[in-house]
Structure 1
């Protein structure tokens, strides 16, 4: 049976409710609360596994209201954002490059900001102090190679009802200005709010985006972080995450900390690998840590090490539950596909892409890597063809009467075409200009001359 509170998150039911109230009572001010709720619900960007079970997959009717005053009271009681507060938590250590930008983006979005500094030796702390905001509270904590420990200190120091973790190299996008509290407060009356994590949309510098990074939860939920790096929030210390649910919302958080120069300057990859190996000793059969080891170590581990990690990762995944957002089968398969392409093992690229398609039909990564692998194979085949044809041409002596061209100019035409198809455009142009001067192979010439014209237009 659907919780009556959950009806206020069912978009179909809300539309029906508004239509019914308009027909019964006409326009009144509180109807705008329905519009506002519907607008906020449109910011849920990935419908979670549990959503329909909680709110109802189909239309469910609200109890009838006796009069307009009761309707107004019910709308206000269920749709008013209420007074629950939001604390932003930022971890810092030598973040002078980005901390001012991060904090400025938060000042008008949250009720207060808790900073946990783990030993900055650059200008980070003086920059924070220069902002001179009573909303900012700085606490100092010794760094012990454990991000979850520091995040849990941030939880303990927070006073808000909701806690929003944002990294120092991130900032609230201008597109989401004014959205932070309304989006979070919407869930203040959600039936599962004490078992809920919320993931903002993280937008990278290259405009790619990441979902599923759990950053927001209610302070009364008892959720704590676990993991030395790539730490995750867990309710009741449950590594299966079966006692909690996650929602992705279009609250845009921009991030630029994974640019190559920044990664190198802060040696993030080496640090991450070291801490991931440490946390794997605590949970050796949790595929989460293997997934991140593979992702972060792909350019650093040997081929044997990578094969071992993939083998163990898939062995520890519950493949029968691959569709769950809590399962790592599909993410690991995507990484394996990427790795096989990097190896130029195109046969395995096709096999892995086919497997990924079975898990996730019409998967864009499967399409991308399988088609790109085919292009590379064709390109390699064209290079081999070019080498063979050039060797053939070099070995020709004398005229071959009865052939398409007795002097072998048709073979020169083929060389020109293969030079073009393998990207050696200047040499291809020389061949086709020569053939044009000889007034031979006109149909093929015209096709490639048109191609050269299109290239000049680019």
Structure 2
């Protein structure tokens, strides 16, 4: 069974670079297995119109928390059955209702001010706390207390229903450190406003977990959310015009609605503002990756390769780098197929006389080659039409694999999904 130090060491997934010496110190320290029973958590849920999930969220927290831990729910104007469902648990939760003023950090800071415990853990209504997370969190807080580490934020691991795992979302703070949230949207913890949160340490653990399943619901509300986010991010850029965080998030959140010229400009500006500042490396990597994807989509392979080189320079092991390298290879290969197809069609059209080679005197083998090339450039209807005509003329050279593929597609669930859309 893991002791407290092994538990801490084995489940760290990332931490601020400045914490390295502290982590080494913790590794070498003898820490009592006893965990101070005064370590209690205030768990804060902010919600609006979450009747679909609010009870599930509350029940998961109640199942995992200790008796002295508190649950705070802040409703920002629900007009569905959210409040009604929360009130079923009025003996277990503290419910506050606040007017929504287009300011996420204001609501978070209000929650911190209402908490009775030092440590606060923010959980979204469409997230489900994984059992054992609070127990692990208290162990880790005890260790941080033993080594007298201050100004630290703890990041849970968020497991999305689509399989995507997110770490680095700063949800767990100690109000004794005078940490507050800043920003109308995509808010971040800060101590000194002009330090942009860089005076705070952060540490992520892989066994403090939240399951998130809100994507389908978010898609239904996406248009309104995008417009809201864009508006709030433009305000943040006016307030802090040289902070790449707001500029990057504007590009990310506005990708589907911004003009392509502005989208490209925002990514370029993010990269320029980040420069070689190690504190902004995260935004630079994201912006470079998004810009490479954008250039590939626009067919600007030269620009894509230039930005990919820059991305590889600062993040050589990133899977995005490997992915983009091979996507570009595939595009180049497909481009060569177009050239070959043009050559084959030209060659066939210039052939008038009957030949007596070993393949076919009427050049059916050339038709087969054209069908192969149509298939490779994703002109599937043209490819299958030629294959069918070859079959009718009893020229079935190597066409069975395409017939098998066609039949598989006809019967596949993938095709059914496509047809529904």
Task: Output the TM-score relative to the length of structure 2.
Answer: 0.85
Q: Aligned partners of 2:363, 2:223: CA distance in 1, in Å? A: 61
Match of 2:23 in 1: 55
Q: How does 1:175-254 map to 2 (within 5 A)?
A: 177-190=131-144, 191=147, 193-250=149-206, 251-254=208-211
List per-residue Cα deviations over 1:82-107 (Å, max 9, x = no partner): 42110111111212122112111111
Query: Is the 1:49–1:325 Cα contact (8 Å) retained in structure 2?
Result: no
Match of 2:128 in 1: 171
List per-residue Cα deviations over 1:39-95 (Å, max 9, x = no partner): 2432211254233222338975x6xxxxxxxxxxx753x653542110111111212
Confirm whether residue 92 of structure 1 aligns to residue 47 of structure 2.
yes
Match of 1:280 in 2: 237
- Secondary structure at the aligned position of 1:399 is classed as coil
Q: Aligned partners of 1:431, 1:147: CA distance in 2, in Å? A: 63
The 1:259/1:380 distance shift into structure 2, 3 A limit, reads: farther
Confirm whether residue 150 of structure 1 aligns to residue 104 of structure 2.
no
The 1:223/1:47 distance shift into structure 2, 3 A limit, reads: closer
Confirm whether residue 363 of structure 1 aligns to residue 318 of structure 2.
yes
Match of 1:70 in 2: none
Higher Cα Rg, which structure: 1
Q: Aligned partners of 1:356, 1:270: CA distance in 2, in Å? A: 30
Gaps of 5+ in 2: 410-421
Shift of 1:404: 6.9
Confirm whether residue 302 of structure 1 aligns to residue 253 of structure 2.
no
Q: Aligned partners of 2:222, 2:24: CA distance in 1, in Å? A: 50
Tell which deviates more after alignment, 325-334 or 201-210.
Answer: 325-334
1:128 is aligned, of 66, 70, 86, to 86
Query: Is the 2:160–2:211 Cα contact (8 Å) retained in structure 1?
Result: yes
Match of 2:14 in 1: 46
Match of 2:290 in 1: 335
Match of 1:421 in 2: 376
Query: Is the 1:196–1:247 Cα contact (8 Å) retained in structure 2?
Result: yes
Query: Is the 2:296–2:304 Cα contact (8 Å) retained in structure 1?
Result: yes
Gaps of 5+ in 1: 1-31, 63-73, 440-444
Q: Aligned partners of 1:160, 1:196: CA distance in 2, in Å? A: 16
Q: Aligned partners of 1:131, 1:334: CA distance in 2, in Å? A: 45
Shift of 1:455: 7.5
Q: Aligned partners of 2:60, 2:310: CA distance in 1, in Å? A: 43
Match of 2:365 in 1: 410
Q: Aligned partners of 2:153, 2:307: CA distance in 1, in Å? A: 32
Query: Is the 1:263–1:269 Cα contact (8 Å) retained in structure 2?
Result: no
Q: Aligned partners of 1:355, 1:296: CA distance in 2, in Å? A: 23
- Secondary structure at the aligned position of 1:188 is classed as helix
Shift of 1:199: 1.0
Shift of 1:394: 4.5
Query: Is the 1:420–1:428 Cα contact (8 Å) retained in structure 2?
Result: no
Q: Aligned partners of 1:148, 1:299: CA distance in 2, in Å? A: 25
- CA-atom RMSD, angstroms? 3.0
- Secondary structure at the aligned position of 1:171 is classed as strand
Confirm whether residue 293 of structure 1 aligns to residue 250 of structure 2.
yes
Q: Aligned partners of 1:43, 1:234: CA distance in 2, in Å? A: 25
Shift of 1:405: 5.3
Task: Output the TM-score relative to the length of structure 1.
Answer: 0.78
Query: Is the 1:286–1:316 Cα contact (8 Å) retained in structure 2?
Result: yes
- Secondary structure at the aligned position of 1:268 is classed as helix
Aligned length: 400
Query: Is the 2:152–2:202 Cα contact (8 Å) retained in structure 1?
Result: yes
Query: Is the 2:367–2:386 Cα contact (8 Å) retained in structure 1?
Result: no
Q: Aligned partners of 1:265, 1:156: CA distance in 2, in Å? A: 31
Q: Aligned partners of 2:229, 2:74: CA distance in 1, in Å? A: 20
